[in-house]
Amino acid sequence: MRKSSLRILDIPSVAAPAARRVEVTRYAPDLPLEQRVSLCEDMQPSLGPGLIRIGLLAMTVHPADLLQIDGRYGVQPPLPYTPGHEGVAIVLSVAPDVDTLKVGDLVVPLAPGGTWRDERVLSSRQVVVLDGDVDVLQCAMLSANPMTAWVLLYGIVALEGPVCLIQNAANSAVGQCVRQLAAQMGIRLINVVRRAEALDGARLGDEHWIIDEGMSVTEFVRRIKALADGRPVPLALDAVAGESTRKLAAAVDVGAKVAVYGLLSQKPSEVMPEDLIFRTVSVEGFWLANWFADPAHRAAAKSAMSALQRLMAEGVLKMAVQQTFDLGQVAGALACAAKPHRTGKVLLTGAWLAHLAEPLGKP
């Protein structure tokens, strides 16, 4: 696999675009999201030793970003701050002592401090260089949701033999990755969504689906048992919480786990004490940030990132995109991302995207 270098038209003779960044200016849950952010000019420091300057090409708008702007995320930066947990960038310049990167390398920035900006100066050690013939928009979505899906499948329960797993919000980006990885692993997966239209164009070959809105717990458990067809059900993945946690806890095996990794319903996770006490089901929270922070996971994170990149380059791992918005249209991007029943991710694009001399990769 080749290391990916994209060409920017005539750097540095092309005038650099005036760098912009988004700023969250206030925590005001009563105001629409778009009224809590503004766009401002961004001054980046000059290149000191070990530093590189990158141009952000595409940046995701995730539920986590919306939660953070709402003041309800696990980490709340002091105001004002630049939001954005994820993105992909091109290297624009490197300090003379940096020999691990070159201009034109495609990189995923991993430094804290917000990706919704045109440019960033950071340490050469705070990026992962991408390999392969890659799609820029897909790469912008590589580090959060595919990694979450990977850890949920490989890191919560040791999955042995012909098991069956359950996941809700199966049409979300994490859900799409879980489905694609589970198919690779040969795991039977039961996908739960809240509405029938979510299935349109979403199915991969031999998949099992339940539309659970309005379904009783008893009926849910009956459907899961039928679809599991005698296979053990040691794990359920819960992005929704609320009543959905209760359904999953009732449907998994005795001694099984429900991993709650999202709060999409914005309701407390319900669970029946009978499932906790008599069936020893455990309900556990999962947060990728904590997983990454554990030094014991460093080697696993590195090899997972390489494997996910490869799967993305091969087209095995692919997430749907609803719409892209230029950074200057951040208000429109937020309004679009906050809507239910989307068909895919909303992404922001940076000014340097327009200066790419090569196409963005595979269609």
Ligand X SMILES: NC(=O)c1ccc[n+]([C@@H]2O[C@H](COP(=O)([O-])OP(=O)(O)OC[C@H]3O[C@@H](n4cnc5c(N)ncnc54)[C@H](OP(=O)(O)O)[C@@H]3O)[C@@H](O)[C@H]2O)c1
Binding site for ligand X (CB under 6 A): 62-64, 144-145, 148, 169, 171-174, 194-195, 198, 239-240, 261-265, 286-288, 340-342, 345
| Cα 226 to Cα 222: distance, rounded to the nearest angstrom | 6
What is the tally of helices (H) and strands (E) in the chain? 10, 15
Q: Which residues contact 160 (CB under 8 A, 6 or more apart)?
A: none
Q: Which residues contact 74 (CB under 8 A, 6 or more apart)?
A: 287, 289
Nearer to ligand X, 51 or 240 (CB): 240
Residue type, 186: G
Minimum distance from residue 144 beta carbon to ligand X (Å): 5
**Active site residue: 27, 73, 81, 154, which one?**
73
In the block, tokens 């990769």 appear at 361
Nearer to ligand X, 94 or 169 (CB): 169
Nearer to ligand X, 49 or 268 (CB): 268
Nearer to ligand X, 67 or 121 (CB): 67
Q: Calculate helix-pair angle for 243-251, 217-228, nearest 10 degrees.
A: 40
Nearer to ligand X, 82 or 171 (CB): 171
In the block, tokens 């879980």 appear at 178
Cβ neighbours of 109 (radius 10 Å): 23
Reference 108, options 76, 144, 133; nearest CA is 144
Tokens read off for 339: 């809507």
Reference 96, options 46, 50, 53; nearest CA is 50
Minimum distance from residue 14 beta carbon to ligand X (Å): 34
Instruction: Give the residue nearest to ligand X (CB).
Output: 262
CB 110 within 8 A of CB 127: yes
Minimum distance from residue 152 beta carbon to ligand X (Å): 9
Minimum distance from residue 257 beta carbon to ligand X (Å): 15
Minimum distance from residue 264 beta carbon to ligand X (Å): 4
Minimum distance from residue 13 beta carbon to ligand X (Å): 39
Nearer to ligand X, 124 or 172 (CB): 172
> Is there a catalytic annotation at residue 73?
yes
* DSSP secondary structure, 222-286, as one string: HHHHHHHTT----EEEESS-THHHHHHHHHSPTT-EEEE---TT-SPPP--HHHHHTS--EEEE-
Q: Which residues contact 325 (CB under 8 A, 6 or more apart)?
A: 332, 333, 336, 346, 347, 348, 349
CB 83 within 8 A of CB 67: no
Minimum distance from residue 2 beta carbon to ligand X (Å): 30
In total, the chain counts a number of residues equal to 363
Nearer to ligand X, 241 or 250 (CB): 241
Half-sphere exposure of 72 (CA within 13 A, CB side): 12
Active-site amino acid positions: 73
